[in-house]
Structure 1
Amino acid sequence: MNENDSDIDALVGEWMTLKDAAKELNVSPNRVKQFIADHKLLGVRRGGELCVPAAFISRGDVVKGLPGTLTVLADSGFSTEEALQWMFTPDDTLPGAPIEALSENRGTEVRRRAQAMAF
């Protein structure tokens, strides 16, 4: 694990394996892999296993607004690590981290900020 991994781990906190995420979402692990490929979730290897941030899943579903936000970030050229860092870094003007705002149904402002970074 490199220094960047530990920085991201400190921001993200809890990770879920594909198997755990699949169980929580009531889908197969392969479907979770497809969600990652389609930018509905982000996945990174932790300890050799593909994992997703636990904060991306709430009440048995992907957090509302997350897929659109991740697509905007990917289209803006953000790497997976950069997108994770942006999603979990607190912003006093938001307030809170973008993932917290999405969880609180404040996705419009989060997507507006993500789109503004593209220009």
Structure 2
Amino acid sequence: MTDPVSASDQAVEPAEWVNLPDLAERLEIPVTRVHQLIRDRSLLAVRRDGVLRVPAELVSTPAVRKHLPGVLTLLRDAGYNDEEALRWLYTADESLPGTPAAALAGDRATEVKRRAQALGF
């Protein structure tokens, strides 16, 4: 029998997803630029129901959350793929409180970056 996982250790799916054409419209940039942001690893996109989507919470109109590209780089340097990075960003952490993704929107973004950097060691 395995130990039960506490609710704080469980990843949650983002509340809202945005497909790439809608995101391009929201950011007022061409959809090709959205694809470039994903290729440059400045934006996280994963397939859901066969469609490439971005968690809406990671985008602050009119731009990507300020610290997101740095956090994504740190997670990739620690060996995380996109799905794993998404899971990390959306796993509740009582010490933040909330999820790292939610913390990126506030004054705890630097702490999220510090924690992502520690994953590489």
TM-score (norm 1): 0.87
Relative contact order, CA 8 A, sep 6+: which one is greater? 2
- Deviation of 1:48 after TM superposition, in Å, equals 2.2
Aligned residues: 112
RMSD: 1.5
Q: Give the structure with the larger helix fraction.
A: 1
Q: 1:109 corresponds to which residue?
A: 111
| Secondary structure of 1:52 counterpart | strand
Unaligned 5+ runs, structure 1? 1-6
| Secondary structure of 1:103 counterpart | coil
Larger Rg: 2
Q: Distance in 1 between matches of 2:111 and 2:49?
A: 34
Q: Which amino acid aligns with 2:59?
A: I
Q: 1:70 corresponds to which residue?
A: 72
Identity %: 49
Q: 1:32 corresponds to which residue?
A: 34
Q: Distance in 2 between matches of 1:84 and 1:63?
A: 15
Q: Distance in 2 between matches of 1:82 and 1:17?
A: 20
- Deviation of 1:71 after TM superposition, in Å, equals 0.8
Q: Distance in 2 between matches of 1:71 and 1:24?
A: 24
CA deviation profile, 1:14-45 (whole Å, cap 9, x unmatched): 11000011111111111111111111111112
Unaligned 5+ runs, structure 2? 1-9
TM-score (norm 2): 0.86
Q: Distance in 2 between matches of 1:91 and 1:37?
A: 28
Q: Which amino acid aligns with 1:66?
A: L
- Deviation of 1:101 after TM superposition, in Å, equals 0.9
Contact kept, 8 Å, 2:78 with 2:119, in 1: the verdict is yes
